[in-house]
Every structure is written in C-alpha cells, then in structure tokens.
Amino acid sequence: MKRNVYGVAAAVLLACGPAATAFAASAEAVSTAPAAVSAALADVTAEGAAAAALKAYPGVVESLDRDANVWHVDVITKDGKGHAELKVDAATGKVTKGSVDSDEDAGEHKDLLAAKVTAAQALKAAVAAHPGEAWSVEWNSDDDDNGKAASWHVEVRGSDGKTWDGSVDATTGKVTAESDSDDDNS
C-alpha cells in the first residue's frame, strides 16, 4: 500500500510542485506522530520494571524503588550467589546493568529465595489493599526485623497524593498497614 501512496505522491509532486511537497511531508508526519507521542507518554510500572529487570538478569527481585525517571532494581540469582544492581528507564523499560557480583553468600538470601510471595505479588497485593501506584518494594527478613516474620515492605502513592507504607507477609500475602503519610516525596 505504501508503494501506491508513494507512487501517487510522486505523480502529484511532478504536477503540483512545492505545495504538494509540503502537503505530502505533513501527511507523513501526521501518520507517524501518534505512535511517537504514545511511546513518549508510556510509563513503566513497578511490575513492568521488575519484569524487565528479571528478563535482563534472571533471579529474584530483592528490592525495587523509583527515583524520578529510573527504577532501581536489585536482583539475586536463584542460587543466591549472584547479585545485580539494575536501572530500568521508567519511560522506555530499557535495562542498564550497574554492579554485578557473583560471589555472594547464598546463606544470606535463603529466606528471600524460599519466600512463597514474590516482590511482584507483594506489589499487586499492596495496591489491591490500598489503590494507587506502587513506588517501592523491599525485602525484610527475620534477621533484619527483630525476629518478625519475613515480609515485603511496600510503598504505594495514592491518587490523593498520600504515601501509604505497608508490609506483605512473605508466606501468606497478608497486607498490613504500617503508616499513612501526607508526604508525597518520601
């Protein structure tokens, strides 16, 4: 079809000169503009950033947080020996590897690797309990939280501008509110 359009455009150019050239150029720009505009407006969600990071560096998400137009994602390999700090562009989903370590102590990550609830599932559960946009998720193990059960700390920013902090149990997926805040910059 483009061949026919270009053939007609060439014939019009020969017959009508510069005015037809300007019209043909603007018609082509209009036909490609919506795709460019919609791509520029696309925003990668927390779940999308986690999926992109895991595609680039397979394993288990340990933490994820958004800083302006970049998602920072830490991933632990499934054997617990590797760790990568990744950046995911919030507009394009492009993944950039930061530091990558392959000599981690696998024992330090055993609870994370055994968790029944993943970071992505914790994000979904938190947003279902408190509608808004997930902004961060971070693993909290028994060792980090004074003997409490392992959980995910999740931050959700509501449409009302308030930030909601909660935890999601790593075994049951139960969501518990930690606090509400009026600060939309935390």
Phi, psi of 158 (to 5 degrees): -80, 165
| The pLDDT value given to residue 142 | 61
**Both structure tokens of 172:** 């049951």
**pTM, full prediction:** 0.71
| The pLDDT value given to residue 70 | 97
Contact call for residues 151 and 170 (beta carbons, < 8 A): yes
Name the β-bridge partners of 83: 76, 101
Which residues, given as ranges, of the chain have pLDDT below 50?
1-41, 144-145, 182-186
CA 102 to chain centre: 24
| The pLDDT value given to residue 42 | 54
| The pLDDT value given to residue 52 | 97
CA–CA distance, 8 with 173 (Å, rounded to integer) = 61
| The pLDDT value given to residue 141 | 82
CA 136 to chain centre: 10
| The pLDDT value given to residue 24 | 37
| The pLDDT value given to residue 161 | 85
Contact call for residues 71 and 155 (beta carbons, < 8 A): no
33 Cβ contact list (under 8 Å, min separation 6): none
Phi, psi of 90 (to 5 degrees): -70, -15
Helix ranges (H only) for 17-148 are: 18-41, 46-56, 110-114, 119-129
By C-alpha distance, which of 84, 119, 114 is closest to 99?
84
**Both structure tokens of 116:** 């029944």
Instruction: Using DSSP, state whether 36 is helix, strand or coil.
Output: helix
